[in-house]
Amino acid sequence: AQRVTQPEKLLSVFKGAPVELKCNYSYSGSPELFWYVQYSRQRLQLLLRHISRESIKGFTADLNKGETSFHLKKPFAQEEDSAMYYCALSSSGTYKYIFGTGTRLKVLA
Amino acid sequence: KAGVTQTPRYLIKTRGQQVTLSCSPISGHRSVSWYQQTPGQGLQFLFEYFSETQRNKGNFPGRFSGRQFSNSRSEMNVSTLELGDSALYLCASSLGLSDREKLFFGSGTQLSVL
């Protein structure tokens, strides 16, 4: 079955510290992976996607097919990074996105 | 460009009632998908519509249904409401031409079932 697992419900780091939000997936084909973010009082929005291989707001994510992971990383956390982060997977031809349960990131001053 | 609009913003219903939620996608977007968001489960896929056709649906009971109109606006209906249906219902729109597309989310409808 297709599944996205985010093992941490809450991650607290200090400002300036590195951040890694974990995402593991199970899917037999070739998935497309995304990270969505929801800041306080804002809508859920796309942060980045694997296909674009981009870096947004200093965040990057590398797809590791061997470990079936798509961890989100940032070298130096900022207070404005505090938000809820969701990892998501789309499978070819289904038009169905599967989301993880989310990780709340708190960046402490 | 206006974003995805969901109405109403809040709903309070009692068990056994039915409810209809509305979603207007971004102009030009032909795909609308619906998700149920709860604190413990995250976002659970309900269904996706493209040009008035349901292309996929999630593992929800038949009490949950939806439709899409020719102007791409979509509605979802939940009949015989149960306490467990209390959740934030999100809709998202996209062009619908690829399953690799960015989803644009609405603010959601918060449904409380008493």
Residue of higher predicted confidence among A12 and A66: A12
Nearest-CB residue to A93 (from B33, B42, B99): B99
Interchain pair A95, B56: CB under 8 A: yes
The mean pLDDT value for B47-65 works out to 95
The mean pLDDT value for A22-36 works out to 90
Residue B1 — pLDDT band, cuts 50, 70, 90?
low
Mean pLDDT of chain B: 95
Query: What pLDDT is stored for residue A53 in this prediction?
Result: 73
Nearest-CB residue to A99 (from B43, B48, B56): B43
Nearest to B95 by CA among A52, A102, A109, A95: A95
**Radius of gyration in angstroms for the set of CA atoms belonging to chain A, rounded to a whole number:** 13
Q: Are B74 and B23 in contact (CB under 8 A)?
A: yes
Interchain pair B55, A95: CB under 8 A: yes
Within 8 A of B106 by CB-CB distance, chain A residues are: 43
Mean pLDDT of chain A: 92
Q: Are B32 and B104 in contact (CB under 8 A)?
A: no
Per-position b or e across A9-41, b if 16+ CB within 10 A of its CB: eebebeeeeebebbbbbebeeebbbbbbbbeee
pLDDT tens column, B76-112: 999 999 999 999 999 999 998 887 889 999 999 999 9
Largest separation between any pair of C-alpha atoms in chain A: 44
